[in-house]
Structures are given as structure tokens and as C-alpha cells.
């Protein structure tokens, strides 16, 4: 049994993760952490997740539950995640990170922990999205140099704070890498006013924020006469939560290293 703690347990993903751990025969819910000072401290995490009492009280710090868990699942915010990563490295824990929106310096800081603990870091934990990344590699190799324009379009709910989504950026990176392009050089994140005709090598991004959309991503390969679209649509956060619990069980048996969802799924 993998003993899992969830930080940000009162959040949208946190509550869904409680459900996913409860449904998993190989995992047990060992703790939940809310923001320090939260009015939800001490609440039963099962009740926060709409499951009724589970006998696990929401703590305000990782210190308070340090002896109870083996793997931490963290879907919070970049600064919080980096502090939790340091805690896990110092206390012999493992970590699964789903937080997105880390900037370059924060990614470099995260990379610095690669040899200090086993961690899975993935901007999207869904099995379907990770398979989609493989399909994109194949499509980009076959089409990229044949005059196809590549655009990434994503849509998320109105509460999402980072843009484009971590998944959209990952899709752009996979396509760019498959084509020997650099996303920093060829990524176009905004088109306003007289921006001129399209550079054939650019990889464009468009973002929709509206209502309660859980997460939709399309990569379009368009040329004169035809258009191919590879689309993934998530209809429930449970797909990310189940992937994260699977990653937690997997990382419990790994050596130190930074792993991706592709490693977890053997893709
Ligand atoms: P949310 O705002 O609903 O939840 C975040 C929670 O973290 C909040 O409850 C907040 O109180 C808590 N928190 C903040 N600081 C804390 C601290 N110091 N200690 C403990 N808890 C703290 O957001 P969300 O929709 O659940 O998304 C969270 C993150 O997960 C975002 O970065 C989002 O993009 C990412 N996400 C990733 C995936 C994936 O598959 N990798 C899927 C969905 C969302």
C-alpha cells in the first residue's frame, strides 16, 4: 500500500485526488494539507471531498504529518510546490507534481532536485494526453517539413491562472523537438494588429478561458487543401487525479530522478 498525502487538499484537484486515492486499491490516504491559516484546517478531508468522514484531518503543514506518508501529491502553485519539494528531499519522501505555470528559473530549481529524491513532474497526468503527445511526435515528423502550418489551441475554465496551459506548451515542445525547431524561437503567443503574414516555421498558440471547461487541446496541421487536427478533451478532473495516483504508486518503487508521465506509463 502506498501511503499518499495530498497538499492543497481543499482545491479543485485536491478534492478530486481524495476521491481517486479512495478508489485505488493500491493506495491509502495518509494525510491532507491546506493553506496555513485556512478556516478548513482540522476539517475531515473526506468531508471536504464530499465523501463523508474518512478520519483524516486537514493539517496546516507537512511537518504535522511527516511520519504518516511516503509520497506527496502536489497540485498547488509554483512557489508552494518548490518549498514542498525541498521538504520531501530533506525528509526522504517522494513527490508527484502536477502544478503548472513554473517559470524557467523555477524549472531549473526543480531540476536541481533530480538526484535528491524520486519525483514525477508532468503538466498533464491524463493517460489520453500522454498518448496524444506520442501521436503528435509521429504527425510532426511526417508533416512538419511538407508545408503544414502548426497551431496549438487550448481551452480551460475561467479560474485558470496560467496561460497557455502547461499541456499546450508541452505539446508545442514535443512538436518543435520532433522538427528540430526551438519553441523559444518559433513559438508565437500573441497576434494583434498588423502582425504580417505567417512565418512557415512558427508554432502558434491560442487560448480560450471560459465557464467550467476542464481542459481541451487541439494541435492543427494545416496546408492548402487539407487540415489535420489532433484533439484531446478532458471532461472530468478525475482523469488527472487517477493518473497522479498511478504516478504516486509507481514512483514509490523508483530510484532518485526526475520522471515524466511517459515513464510512468511506459510510453
Ligand atoms: P485550486 O486553486 O483549486 O487549488 C490549489 C489549492 O492549493 C488551493 O486550495 C490552495 O488553498 C492550496 N494552497 C495554496 N498554497 C498552499 C500551501 N502553502 N499549503 C497548502 N495548500 C496550499 O487549483 P486547481 O485547479 O486544483 O489547480 C492546481 C494546480 O494544478 C494548477 O497549477 C493547475 O494548472 C494544475 N493542474 C494540473 C493538472 C495536471 O494533470 N498536471 C491538471 C489540473 C490542474
Tell me: the pLDDT tens digits for 60-85?
A: 999 999 999 999 999 999 999 999 99
| Best residue among 5, 9, 11 to mutate for probing ligand 1, ranked by most atoms within 8 Å of CB | 11
3-state SS, residue 216: strand
Residue 8 beta carbon below 6 angstroms from any ligand 1 atom:
yes
Q: Give, as one character, the DSSP assignment of residue 3.
A: E
Each residue of 81-110: pLDDT tens digit?
A: 999 999 999 999 999 999 999 999 999 999
Ligand 1 atom closest to the Cα of residue 166 is: 34
Rounded to whole angstroms, the Cα distance separating 159 from 149 reads 30
Owner of C-alpha cell 499546450: 168
CA-proximal residue: ligand 1, atom 40 (nearest): 124
Q: How confident is the model at residue 267 (pLDDT cuts 50, 70, 90)?
A: confident
Residues 117-161 have pLDDT tens digits of 999 999 899 999 999 999 999 999 999 888 999 999 999 999 999
- Closest to 249 (Cα-Cα) out of 44, 34, 96: 96
> 247 CB under 6 A from ligand 1?
no
Instruction: Say yes or no: CB of residue 34 within 6 Å of ligand 1.
Output: yes
217 as an active site residue: the answer is no
DSSP state, residue 91: T
Distances (CA, A) of 95 to 109, 170, 195: 15, 20, 43
Q: Specify burial of residue 195 (Cβ count, 10 A radius: 0-12, 13-18, 19+).
A: exposed
- Cell numbers describing residue 5: 498525502
Q: Where are the beta strands (DSSP E) in 92-156?
A: 94-97, 118-121, 149-156
The Cα–Cα gap between 59 and 99 comes to 20
Q: What angle do CA 122, 125, 127 make, to 5 degrees?
A: 130
**Annotation says 160 is catalytic:** yes
Amino acid at each position: 500500500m502506498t501511503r499518499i498525502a495530498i497538499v492543497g487538499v481543499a482545491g479543485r484537484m485536491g478534492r478530486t485526488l481524495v476521491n481517486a486515492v479512495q478508489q485505488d486499491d493500491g493506495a491509502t490516504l495518509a494525510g491532507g494539507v491546506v493553506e496555513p491559516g485556512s478556516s478548513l484546517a482540522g476539517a475531515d478531508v473526506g468531508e471536504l471531498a464530499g465523501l463523508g468522514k474518512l478520519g483524516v484531518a486537514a493539517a496546516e503543514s507537512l511537518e504535522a504529518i511527516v511520519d504518516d506518508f511516503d509520497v506527496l501529491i502536489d497540485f498547488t502553485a509554483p512557489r508552494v510546490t518548490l518549498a514542498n519539494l525541498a521538504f520531501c528531499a530533506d525528509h526522504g519522501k517522494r513527490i508527484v507534481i502536477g502544478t503548472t505555470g513554473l517559470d524557467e528559473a523555477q524549472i531549473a530549481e526543480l531540476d536541481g532536485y533530480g538526484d535528491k529524491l524520486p519525483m514525477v513532474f508532468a503538466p498533464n497526468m491524463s493517460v489520453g494526453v500522454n498518448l496524444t503527445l506520442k501521436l503528435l511526435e509521429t504527425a510532426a515528423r511526417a508533416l512538419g517539413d511538407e508545408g503544414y502550418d502548426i497551431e496549438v489551441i487550448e481551452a480551460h475554465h475561467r479560474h485558470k491562472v496560467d496561460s497557455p496551459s502547461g499541456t499546450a506548451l508541452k505539446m508545442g515542445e514535443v512538436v518543435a523537438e520532433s522538427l528540430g525547431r526551438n519553441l523559444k524561437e518559433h513559438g508565437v503567443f500573441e497576434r494583434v494588429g498588423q502582425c504580417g503574414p505567417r512565418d512557415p516555421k512558427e508554432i502558434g498558440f491560442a487560448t480560450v478561458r471560459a465557464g467550467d471547461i476542464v481542459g481541451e487541446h487541439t494541435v492543427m496541421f494545416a496546408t492548402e487543401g487539407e487540415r489535420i487536427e489532433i484533439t484531446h478533451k478532458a471532461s472530468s478532473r478525475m482523469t488527472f487525479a487517477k493518473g497522479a495516483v498511478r504516478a504516486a504508486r509507481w514512483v514509490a518503487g523508483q530510484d532518485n530522478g526526475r520522471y515524466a508521465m511517459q515513464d510512468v506509463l511506459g510510453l
